[in-house]
Amino acid sequence: MTTNETCGRAVISLLEAYGVDTVFGMPGVHTLEFYKGLAASKIRHVLVRHEQGAGFMADGYARATGRPGVCLVITGPGVTNAATAMGEAYSDSVPMLVLSSVNASTDLGMGRGRLHEITSQQAVTEPLTAFSRTALGAGEIPDLLARAFAVFASARPRPVHIALPLDVLVEPAEFAIAARTPPSPSSPSADALASAAMLLQTASRPVVIAGGGSIDCAGALERFAATLGAPVIVTNAAKGVIADDHPLCLGATLSLTPTQDLLASADVVVAVGSELAETDSWTDRLPISGELIRIDIDAVAAQRDYPAKVALVGDAGAALTALNDAIDANSCTITDRERNGVRKKCLNAMSPLSRTHMIVLDAMRGVLPDDAIVVTDMTQIAYTGNTYYPCARPRSWFHPNGYGTLGYALPAAIGARLGAPQSAVVALVGDGGLLFTVQELATAAELGLPLVVILWNNDGLGQIRDDMISKGIPEVGVNPRNPDYQLLARAFGCHAVRPDSLDGFADAITNALGADVPTLIEVRQDAPYL
C-alpha cells in the first residue's frame, strides 16, 4: 500500500513492515517528523540519555536477538555521538541501522553555519558502516532500506547509516509501505566443498576455530566437530556456540600458549566465521602451519592475512552441513587426554589477579541461569572472563572485542534485556568504564528493568596502570578520584549494595534478578573476601 504521509512518518511505517519493534533514540528539532511517525506506530521507542547509549543499546539488542538494532539520532552531534557505537558494531560484525536527519539537500556541503551542520555527515559515518547514504528524494528511501536489510540478512552484518535531509523528511512519501524479502546467504561452491572435504578426510590432527560468524549454526558446528573428532577453539564472539563443558571444546583460549601449541601441531585448521584478528589471539601471528580451510561470508576476509588452501565463501551453517555430509568419521589422533592437558595448562597459566577475578566469576556463574546474558566492558575482570567464564549456549557473553570501547556494557545490557526479556542480564563493568555511560542507569530505572550491574572497582584504569608499572612509566592519568557509586546509583533510582562476603555477593545477584529496577553491586578488588 502507499501512504499520504510525509517521508519522515512513512519511513517509520516501513521499519515496522520490516519487523522492527524497538527504536533507541532521543528526539530533537531535526527529527520531529520521524517522531510523528513513531507516535502512530507500534514500534517501542526507548528514550536514551546520550546518543552513544542509543547505539550501544541497539548493539546489545542485535547481539541478543540476531535481528538488527535500530537507533534514531539527530543531525550532526547525534550522529557523531553515536559514531563510537557504530565503530564497535562495525568491528564486531553487528547488524545495526542508524537512521538520522541531515541538513536540507540544498545546504549539503555548503558550510553555511546551519544548526547541527557537518560539511559532510556521510563522510563521517562511511568508514564505520557497510554503507552510508543520504536519501535525496522520496523514491530512494525504499531502495536504501531494502539494501540495508539485505546486508543484515545475507552479507557480513555491519551497521548501515541512512540520513534523510530536512526537506526530504517533509516531502510526500509516494512509495509503497511494503518490506522486500531480503536474499538468502549464498552457499559455497561445490568444487570448493569437494576440495575441503578431501583435505579433511586425510587429516589426522584437525582443529576447528569458531568465530562470531558461527553463532547461528551451533548445531551444525557441533556435529561437524564430532564427526572429525576435532577440538574446537572459540573466539570471544563465539563463546557458547559449543558448550564449554563439551569434551571437544577448548574454550576461548586462542591467546594462551598451550592452545597455540596445539594449533601449531594441527595438520588441517578449519576457521569458521573468524577474521583471525589481533583481538582474537593477542598475538602478531597465530602458529598455523597446517593446511587452512576458511569458511566466511566475506570473500575478502576469507583470504586476508592467513591465506587459505581452500576458501568456502558463504553461509557457515550451509558449509558445515555440506562438509559433514561429505566426510566419514575421522580418526583424529588428538586424544581426550591431550585436550584435557591443554585445558589444565591454560588454567594453570592464569595470573594471580585473574585468580581473584575467577572467584567472582565462579560466584556469578553459580547463581545465574544457563540462559543468562553477561555483557562486559573493557575491564580486567572481563578479560579474565573472556577466557575463563563458562558459557552453555551462544549469545550469552557480549564483549566489545574489536573497537574495544569503554562504556559499552551498561547500555548494551539494557538493549539485550529489552531484546531478550526472558533472560537474566548482567552488565560487568569497571569503575572507569561505568562513568562513560552511567547516565543510562536513568534509562534502565525508568524502564523498570531488573538489570544486574556488577561494578569491579579497582580505583582507576587498572589495566593501563599495570601496563605503565610494568614498563617503568610513572602512573600518569590512571588514578582518578571516583564518586561514591552507591550514592550515584541511588540518585538514578536504582538499588545499590556493596557486599561484605562472597555469599553476600551471590545473594545480591539473586535479589537483583527479582528487583523492580537495576541493582548496582559494587565489588572492590581489595575486598577482604577475595
**225-246 pLDDT tens trace:** 999 999 999 999 999 999 999 9
**Position 1 pLDDT exceeds 60:** no
H or E element that contains 49: none
What is the structure's pLDDT at 112?
86
The number of beta carbons lying within 10 Å of the beta carbon of residue 260 is 18
What is the structure's pLDDT at 100?
98
Across the range 396-424, mean pLDDT stands at: 97
**Position 4 pLDDT exceeds 80:** no
Rounded CA-CA distance 468/462 in Å is 10
Superfamily of domain 350-524: Thiamin diphosphate (ThDP)-binding fold, Pyr/PP domains (3.40.50.970)
Helices marked H in 202-335: 218-228, 257-264, 278-281, 316-326
State the cell numbers at 80.
557523531
> Do 151 and 115 touch, CB atoms closer than 8 A?
no
What is the structure's pLDDT at 111?
85
For residue 425, list its beta bridge partners. 373
Calculate the average pLDDT of the chain.
95
Task: Among 3-17, 131-145, 256-270, 440-454, name the one with the lowest average pLDDT.
Answer: 3-17
List the chain domain ranges: 7-169, 190-345, 350-524
- Of the segments 96-110, 315-329, 495-509, which one has the largest average pLDDT value? 495-509
> Do 384 and 251 touch, CB atoms closer than 8 A?
no
Domains 7-169 and 190-345 share a fold: yes
Task: Among 192-201, 297-306, 408-417, 480-489, name the one with the lowest average pLDDT.
Answer: 297-306
Class of domain 190-345: alpha beta
What is the structure's pLDDT at 3?
60
Rounded CA-CA distance 240/321 in Å is 19
What is the structure's pLDDT at 81?
98
Write down the CATH number for the domain with range 7-169: 3.40.50.970
Across the range 164-186, mean pLDDT stands at: 93
What is the structure's pLDDT at 284?
86
> Do 201 and 298 touch, CB atoms closer than 8 A?
no
pLDDT band for position 2 (50/70/90)? low
DSSP 8-state class, residue 176? B
Rounded CA-CA distance 124/80 in Å is 8
What is the structure's pLDDT at 105?
87
What pTM was computed for the model? 0.96
pLDDT band for position 33 (50/70/90)? very high
Query: Under 8 Å CB-to-CB from 500, ≥6 apart: which residues?
Result: 527, 529
Q: What is the 3-state secondary structure (H, E, C) of 357-401?
A: HHHHHHHHHHHCCCCCEEEECCCHHHHHHHHHCCCCCCCCEECCC
Q: What percent of the chain has pLDDT over 90?
A: 92
Rounded CA-CA distance 135/6 in Å is 14
pLDDT band for position 437 (50/70/90)? very high
**Position 76 pLDDT exceeds 90:** yes
CA-nearest of 347, 406, 363, 352 to 509 is: 363
**Position 331 pLDDT exceeds 80:** no
pLDDT band for position 24 (50/70/90)? very high
Q: What percent of the chain has pLDDT over 70?
A: 99
What is the structure's pLDDT at 79?
98
Across the range 298-327, mean pLDDT stands at: 93
Across the range 426-434, mean pLDDT stands at: 97
**Position 510 pLDDT exceeds 80:** yes
pLDDT in tens, 284-305: 899 999 999 999 999 988 888 8
State the cell numbers at 286.
597465530
Across the range 75-84, mean pLDDT stands at: 97
